[in-house]
Amino acid sequence: MIRHLATILGPDHRGALRRYLAWLIAHPVLEGIATAFLVPVLRSVFDGDTQGALRHLVVLAVLVVATCVARYQQTMRGFRLAVVTLTTLHDRLGDHLVRLPLGWFTTEKVGRVARSATTGTFTVTNVFAHLLTPVVGGVVTPATVVVAMLVLDWRLGLVLVCCAPLLYVTHRWSASWIGRSERQRDSADALAGSRVVEFARAQKTLRAFGRDHEGYAPLEAAVEERSRAGGRMLAETMPRLLANGLAVQLCFAALVATGVAMALNDAVEPAALVALLALAARFVGPLSEAAGMSGMLRMAGNDLGRLAALLDEPPLPDTAVRAPLPRPGELAFENVSFGYDEANPVLRDVSLHVPAHTMTAVVGASGAGKTTLVRLVARFFDADFGTVRVGGTDVREMPVEQLMSQLALVQQDVYLFDDTLEGNIRVGRPDATDEEVREAARIAGVDEIVERLPDGLGTRVGEGGASLSGGERQRVSVARAVLKRAPVVLLDEATAALDPENEKYVQRALRTLMTDSTLLVIAHQLSTVVAADQILVLDEGRVVERGTHTELLAADGRYARFWERRRRSRGWRLVAQQETEATR
Ligand SMILES: Nc1ncnc2c1ncn2[C@@H]1O[C@H](COP(=O)(O)OP(=O)(O)OP(=O)(O)O)[C@@H](O)[C@H]1O
């Protein structure tokens, strides 16, 4: 747990954490010694030794003051670390997330981040404020009492030493059970949470097929499992917490029995026995309190573990030194192989060269690896073998920020912020002038959307761009790319979202982009394919054909068959093809 706390607080606060831990241990040690001093005080009082009692009382007073100082230091330092966590954890999480590879952000992982950002922060502050003090005290105070007891009366001390393994084993046994059932409940919680989100997202589909009033079996199953896991956790936790408490009380009973037997055999003075039992009470009290908290501590440990694992997630290897770009705007793959897992390669020995200011269209069946190709350029993931070059330089040898300044990405699932249209286009280049924003909007056909909206470019688009159609959202994304004027544009053309109107604007934007940028397009529109300088046909992760439209048609291979199929199914699109050819 301490290792997790060190990870969560970060290197800047490790020294403060160490000092806090030192006080956290010093306090119960001093408290244990102060309690042990009660024995000589009480012995002197029972023996009628006033001088001795006074001497011991002075030492006791000094120890009590030292204990108070330690308690103050420990509380204040714990409080400060809790405040540090509250104020910096979200920043640290944010800083860490921006350094993770983009491919890391799956729905499940994003859900984990959201939960860690909320419950994790609460847990860390709770650990500092309420948990560590009683739990550390619950172990260190009794340990000090055992040492003191061995010094004051080795026989009773020995009883406590013999009790230690029993207490340890009971604690480990109950804590591991509680930890396990808490992990099961947490997984059930996470599953139920993601099923609720899935259910909300699936509403359109469920209603379209009239399935909305039948319930949603995966959600119901997840909710049921969550309530089962909650019940199981309660049923498994309570008896084990009670067993913990019972073990502590058994140890105390053994101590009392031994003491009484010793007193009956005149092996110890009754007065001394009372003093020693008073000390033994300090052994039992903190232990019982700590035993009661062990469940909470284990749960907090799991929470901290998850949060620390998130912060330990390896970031994208990055370099600080800007690399020279010997061939600006050029894009190349050299014998690149990649798989999301080792057993299933998705790209196999792919080599390609996209000269600056040209357009390359990638076509291929669904699952051929087209999107993966684009992801490797933007370092969503790094290639397993081979090299991806942008501007003639290996993408791994330039800082991520430099790489991103070279790229503009237009994806199918465009994310728009709950901001104005203008704000969303400006994401491409925040310092662009108003005139440049308007020009980018015009080129991408956003001005045509603007005319229909009440506040023009100042109209808010709703969360995720909810008030725009799929094609309109992609036009905004294209406008961002136009505004960014990046040397390389990676465009995953929308399939269904482009009606002829949208397609016309995207084509116009592609022509504009080509004057300044190099384009790698996952092409779905025949007009885009025909307009490309080079077409790559991808099949099961390999480039199986490459050339211009005319060359590939003449080769009468896969591309010719792809073209024929698409032409038949979307014959009317040939009009667009002719238009495009006419404009070249
Ligand atoms: N994040 C991921 N994790 C694991 N496998 C993935 C991931 N993304 C894609 N894949 C798998 O990699 C293969 C290639 O996917 P990719 O999305 O690159 O194909 P594509 O040619 O773009 O397909 P489509 O045209 O349908 O979008 C597919 O088998 C897919 O299931």
Cα of 523 vs centre of ligand 1, distance in Å, is 16
pLDDT tens-digit series, residues 1-52: 788 888 888 888 888 989 999 999 999 899 888 888 888 888 888 778 888 8
Q: Which of 26, 18, 13, 23 is nearest to 2 (CA)?
A: 18
Confidence at residue 494, expressed as pLDDT on a 0 to 100 scale: 63
For residues 231, 234, 236, 238, the Cα torsion angle rounded to the nearest 10 degrees is -150
User: What ipTM does the predicted assembly reach?
Assistant: 0.96
* CA of 495, closest atom in ligand 1: 25
* CA of 368, closest atom in ligand 1: 21
Ligand 1: does its nearest atom lie under 6 Å from the Cβ of 367? yes
Confidence at residue 321, expressed as pLDDT on a 0 to 100 scale: 86
**Strand 488-492 relative to strand 385-390: parallel, antiparallel, unpaired?**
unpaired
Domains of the chain: 2-312 (1.20.1560.10), 331-413+488-583 (3.40.50.300)
Cα of 395 vs centre of ligand 1, distance in Å, is 21
pTM summary value = 0.65
- In the DSSP assignment, the letter for residue 129 is I
Residue type, 584: R
Which residue's CA is the nearest one to ligand 1's atom 18? 369
Mutate to test the pocket of ligand 1, among 109, 337, 344, 372 (most ligand atoms within 8 A of CB): 372
Which residue's CA is the nearest one to ligand 1's atom 12? 346
d(CA 473, CA 108): 25
Confidence at residue 292, expressed as pLDDT on a 0 to 100 scale: 67
* CA of 522, closest atom in ligand 1: 22
Ligand 1: does its nearest atom lie under 6 Å from the Cβ of 107? no
Tens-binned pLDDT, residue by residue, of the chain (584 aa): 788 888 888 888 888 989 999 999 999 899 888 888 888 888 888 778 888 888 888 998 999 999 999 999 998 998 888 888 877 777 788 778 877 877 787 767 777 787 777 777 788 788 887 788 888 888 888 888 888 888 888 888 888 888 888 888 887 788 778 778 877 887 888 788 878 878 887 777 777 776 666 677 888 898 899 899 888 888 888 888 788 878 888 888 888 888 888 888 877 777 777 777 877 777 777 777 776 676 677 778 878 888 888 888 888 887 888 889 999 999 999 999 999 887 889 999 999 999 999 999 999 888 899 999 999 998 988 999 999 999 999 999 999 889 989 999 888 777 788 888 888 899 888 888 999 999 888 888 888 888 877 788 888 877 666 667 777 888 888 899 889 889 999 988 765 445 666 677 777 888 888 888 899 999 887 788 888 999 999 999 999 999 999 999 999 888 898 888 877 765 544 444 444 444 44
For residues 562, 566, 571, 572, the Cα torsion angle rounded to the nearest 10 degrees is -130
Confidence at residue 497, expressed as pLDDT on a 0 to 100 scale: 46
Confidence at residue 576, expressed as pLDDT on a 0 to 100 scale: 44
d(CA 369, CA 346): 6
Confidence at residue 205, expressed as pLDDT on a 0 to 100 scale: 76
Quote the percentage of the chain above a pLDDT of 70. 93
Cα of 309 vs centre of ligand 1, distance in Å, is 27
Cα of 109 vs centre of ligand 1, distance in Å, is 18
* CA of 103, closest atom in ligand 1: 1
d(CA 36, CA 24): 19
* CA of 412, closest atom in ligand 1: 27
| Mean predicted lDDT score pLDDT of the chain | 83
Which residue's CA is the nearest one to ligand 1's atom 2? 340
Q: Which of 275, 271, 273 is nearest to 38 (CA)?
A: 275
Q: What's the burial of 448, exposed, middle or buried (CB within 10 Å: 0-12/13-18/19+)?
A: middle
Confidence at residue 68, expressed as pLDDT on a 0 to 100 scale: 94
Confidence at residue 47, expressed as pLDDT on a 0 to 100 scale: 79
Ligand 1: does its nearest atom lie under 6 Å from the Cβ of 524? no
Mutate to test the pocket of ligand 1, among 348, 362, 370, 524 (most ligand atoms within 8 A of CB): 370
Mutate to test the pocket of ligand 1, among 104, 366, 371, 411 (most ligand atoms within 8 A of CB): 371
Ligand 1: does its nearest atom lie under 6 Å from the Cβ of 377? no
Contact between 235 and 169 (Cβ < 8 Å): no
Q: Which residues contact 183 (CB under 8 A, 6 or more apart)?
A: 302
Cα of 516 vs centre of ligand 1, distance in Å, is 30
Contact between 300 and 123 (Cβ < 8 Å): yes
Contact between 460 and 422 (Cβ < 8 Å): no
Ligand 1: does its nearest atom lie under 6 Å from the Cβ of 411? no
* CA of 340, closest atom in ligand 1: 4
Cross-strand partners of 359:
519
